[in-house]
């Protein structure tokens, strides 16, 4: 049956990559965050059961969705044409740019893209942050071997703190969150104007119910409550 995971059309099994606070992260062995609450609320209001969360590599989320291992991606995932060829997205629920993080008290304090000349720049594999580092490489700003790819953004920021990479490109709200809790700060912002959506299989009709639920969550103020809880 189309749109089924484990043969159960009443349950929506969500997947994420839980190293992207405050959207999704692990705390005391539990996956928590804005995306987690928003997705669970949407699935519930749409009339489905919330399945057990899967914590996967970011680059495995789309294959796992299309394999029926999960039914919904809630992972701060940017809606883009490449992904839209593979999966369907809900209506957008967030807007973001990319921020460039550096060590707070380091000598390297770039003010714009051209200052990244000669720098080692990191991002999580399979993300739009990685695409930005690839663009910088294609434009000749950074060298081929200066591009560092990580399995998740926590590892990238730890490597930045350790001095093994000079800058990390990551979604703006997540960069701000790292800057609040670690010895890193935002050097400058790359205006990418991205929108986040939840991903579902292209043949899964339940996406209409999820979109209706997301609209209701916005209209009745629940969305603002969640933003206040996780971002302020």
Question: For binding to ligand ARG (CB under 6 A), which residues are involved?
Answer: 16-17, 19-20, 24, 58, 75-78, 124, 127-129, 171
- Which residues make Cβ contacts (< 8 Å) with residue 138, sequence separation at least 6? none
- Which residues make Cβ contacts (< 8 Å) with residue 71, sequence separation at least 6? 3, 5, 11, 12, 13, 14, 51, 65, 200, 201, 204, 206
Q: Are 57 and 51 in contact (CB under 8 A)?
A: no
Q: In the bound complex, what is the minimum distance in angstroms from residue 220's beta carbon to ligand ARG?
A: 26
Q: Are 196 and 92 in contact (CB under 8 A)?
A: yes
- Taking the least distance from each CB to ligand ARG, the nearer of 16 and 90 is 16
- Taking the least distance from each CB to ligand ARG, the nearer of 24 and 71 is 24
- Taking the least distance from each CB to ligand ARG, the nearer of 75 and 198 is 75
Q: In the bound complex, what is the minimum distance in angstroms from residue 204's beta carbon to ligand ARG?
A: 20
User: Exposed, middle or buried: residue 49 (CB in 10 Å: 0-12, 13-18, 19+)?
Assistant: exposed
3-state secondary structure of 75: coil
- Taking the least distance from each CB to ligand ARG, the nearer of 172 and 211 is 172
Q: In the bound complex, what is the minimum distance in angstroms from residue 185's beta carbon to ligand ARG?
A: 20
């Amino acid at each position: 049956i189309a749109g089924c995971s484990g043969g159960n059309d009443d349950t929506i099994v969500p997947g994420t990559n839980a190293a992207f606070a405050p959207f999704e992260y692990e705390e005391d062995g539990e996956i928590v965050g804005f995306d987690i609450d928003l997705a669970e609320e949407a699935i519930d209001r749409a009339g489905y059961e919330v399945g057990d969360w899967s914590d996967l590599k970011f680059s495995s989320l789309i294959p796992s969705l299309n394999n029926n291992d999960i039914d919904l991606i809630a992972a701060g995932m940017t809606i883009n044409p490449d992904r839209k060829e593979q999966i369907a997205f809900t209506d957008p629920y967030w807007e973001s740019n990319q921020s460039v993080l550096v060590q707070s008290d380091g000598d390297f304090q770039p003010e714009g893209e051209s200052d990244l000349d000669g720098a080692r720049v990191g991002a999580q594999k399979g993300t739009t942050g990685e695409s930005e580092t690839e663009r910088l490489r294609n434009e000749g700003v950074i060298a081929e071997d200066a591009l560092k790819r990580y399995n998740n953004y926590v590892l990238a920021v730890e490597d930045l703190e350790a001095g093994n990479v000079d800058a990390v490109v990551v979604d703006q709200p997540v960069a701000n969150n790292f800057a609040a809790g670690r010895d890193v700060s935002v050097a400058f912002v790359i205006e990418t104007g991205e929108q986040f959506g939840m991903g579902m299989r292209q043949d899964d009709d339940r996406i209409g119910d999820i979109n209706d639920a997301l609209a209701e969550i916005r209209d009745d103020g629940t969305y603002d409550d969640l933003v206040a809880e996780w971002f302020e």
